[in-house]
Amino acid sequence: MSPETFQQKILTWFDLNGRKGLPWQIAASPYKTWLSEIMLQQTQVSTVIPYFNRFIQSFPDIKALAEAPLDSVLEHWAGLGYYARARNLHKTAIIINNNSFPQDLDGLMALPGIGRSTAGAILSIAFNNSHPILDGNVRRVLARYHAISGWTGHAKVSNELWKISTLYTPVKRCADYTQAMMDLGATLCKRSKPDCNNCPIRSSCLARIEGKTAIIPNPKPAKSIPVKKLVFLILINEQQQILLEKRPASGIWGGLWSLPEFECFTQIQSLCEQQNITINSTSQLDEQRHTFSHYHLDYTPYIVKIENPINNVMEANQAVWYNLEQINSLGLASPIKRLLQNQ
């Protein structure tokens, strides 16, 4: 099938079946396109929609986002995961607000959190400039269509897919084509049980012809995920306030508020002794697990009720006492928010 025929079949399918009523497609703008593309990285559309709507309501344009405190941005992001996306979104908003929205590939890729595929999607959808993309959905469609074996994240496979994506990306109607390819992967050419019967390019799809749709693309090579164990401290004073500390800007839950963490309960006892804090009661909650992309975190929460301490329990600029009713307005990691909401 020639690139022109491929494009025609994809666009005809999109005209009849493509998604055209998503929140970021209504009164579309470069800001909405950029925001949706960042949110959709490693996150499904159904999960993103309520977050996008709430985000746009609070930060309707780049200026509002750039001028918002990072804490507020992180609070709106809590639950979406991969929090570096939110930090980079805020950094980029400040840069764009002080300059302008780039309309070229290099200019977009120079911004925090924007890679080649995201930049291509923004240029195609927001500015109707022809640029290829290669997100997870498009990788899967093209790998199956050409029966390309191997993990699509491998450099050799990825380079081959970029060449194919570039070959097929049209000059005209590039915005519709880009959206169509993402829709095709998300709705028909799914990871498991693809709906080949309704696929517009099924007649030439080599994976379908060769009966390999179940094994192409190959999954990411499995590796054992280590387990890290921690103790979380829920420190409550006589005013029923909980001590929260702000995590470093980079790393897991970067920039969010969280509970003080320790390797074991003995360290909590030592801290209280060092600070001359009187413990009124202690209770241990059940161990829980939260899985990150590269390790499992098994954490045991301890509720420690104390007499009112002096203010140097933690560094003053990194730790604050909060009432339970205040936590909904903070940028808290989802597991921590759920834990505190149950107290």
In angstroms, the CA 152 to CA 147 distance is 12
Is 37 a catalytic site residue? yes
In angstroms, the CA 195 to CA 213 distance is 10
Packing angle of the helix pair 70-77, 84-98 (nearest 10 deg):
130
DSSP state of 332: B
Report the largest interatomic distance among the alpha carbons of the chain, rounded to a whole angstrom: 77
Which string of DSSP letters, residue by residue, matches 105-132? HHHHHTSTT--HHHHHHHHHHHH-----
If residue 258 lies in a helix (H) or strand (E), which one and from where to where? strand 257-258
Active-site residue (options: 37, 75, 160, 263): 37
Letter string b/e over residues 154-184, b meaning 16 or more CB atoms within 10 A of that residue's CB = eeebeebbbebbeebbbeebbbbbbbbbbbb
DSSP state of 252: T
Catalytic residue positions? 37
